[in-house]
Chain A
Amino acid sequence: GENVEQHPSTLSVQEGDSAVIKCTYSDSASNYFPWYKQELGKGPQLIIDIRSNVGEKKDQRIAVTLNKTAKHFSLHITETQPEDSAVYFCAATLYNNNDMRFGAGTRLTVKP
């Protein structure tokens, strides 16, 4: 089955800096890669996703890149703000299969 590894486990940046979180996956058949943000006491919330037919997707300050050959994908947050502080999870799955495999999460802290 799919195995997703996520790095780093914790990340601390200064407000205004960029943050990058990286994930690798094992199943070359996976073709859908969502990213979730989980704030304290809340459930995960989808913030951006990418399918394997594109290499990059951007939404305002958030972008995701995908390297299918190397089987890794990354989340990029620019101009970080304190409200970006949360735990971020990557996931990988086949698009027609909702059994998403999640990474272990990255705790991002943005210091004012």
Chain B
Amino acid sequence: EAGVAQSPRYKIIEKRQSVAFWCNPISGHATLYWYQQILGQGPKLLIQFQNNGVVDDSQLPKDRFSAERLKGVDSTLKIQPAKLEDSAVYLCASSFLPYNEQFFGPGTRLTVL
């Protein structure tokens, strides 16, 4: 079974630039999550989708972050404009149903200079 795919794996940008991350969950998984993992910390949930609807985005900084999952499969997370403090690994995870085990992708390491 293929795992959660993410791209790119690494991204370096300057502050105030824009960046987008892509996630392809495990086939058949209806629930998709985006996490932010700052160096030396545990992952923090940014947004949760159930199919193509948002379940929880209470911790998403909506002034600069946006995410979509238009067809209920792939998802993109965008940051516009980026700040220095956005430097982190962005993890995507999926689960068959809410409250099931979450499977994580390898993450995208973002460096904002």
List residues of A whose CB falls within 8 A of some B CB: 4, 6, 41-46, 89, 91, 95-105
Contact = CB atoms under 8 A, between A and B. Distances in A.
B40 A98 contact: no
A54 B26 CA distance: 31
Given A41-B106, A43-B4, A102 B42 contact: yes
Given A103-B42, A105-B41, A43 B99 contact: no
Nearest to B44: A102
B42 A43 contact: no
Given A43-B4, A43-B91, A45-B104, A104 B42 contact: yes
Interface residues of B, number: 24
B38 to A, nearest CB: 10
B31 interface: yes
Given A43-B106, A46-B101, A102 B43 contact: yes
Given A43-B106, A95-B99, A99-B58, 15 more contacts: A42-B107, A43-B4, A43-B93, A43-B107, A44-B104, A89-B43, A96-B99, A97-B99, A98-B33, A98-B48, A98-B55, A98-B95, A103-B42, A104-B40, A105-B42
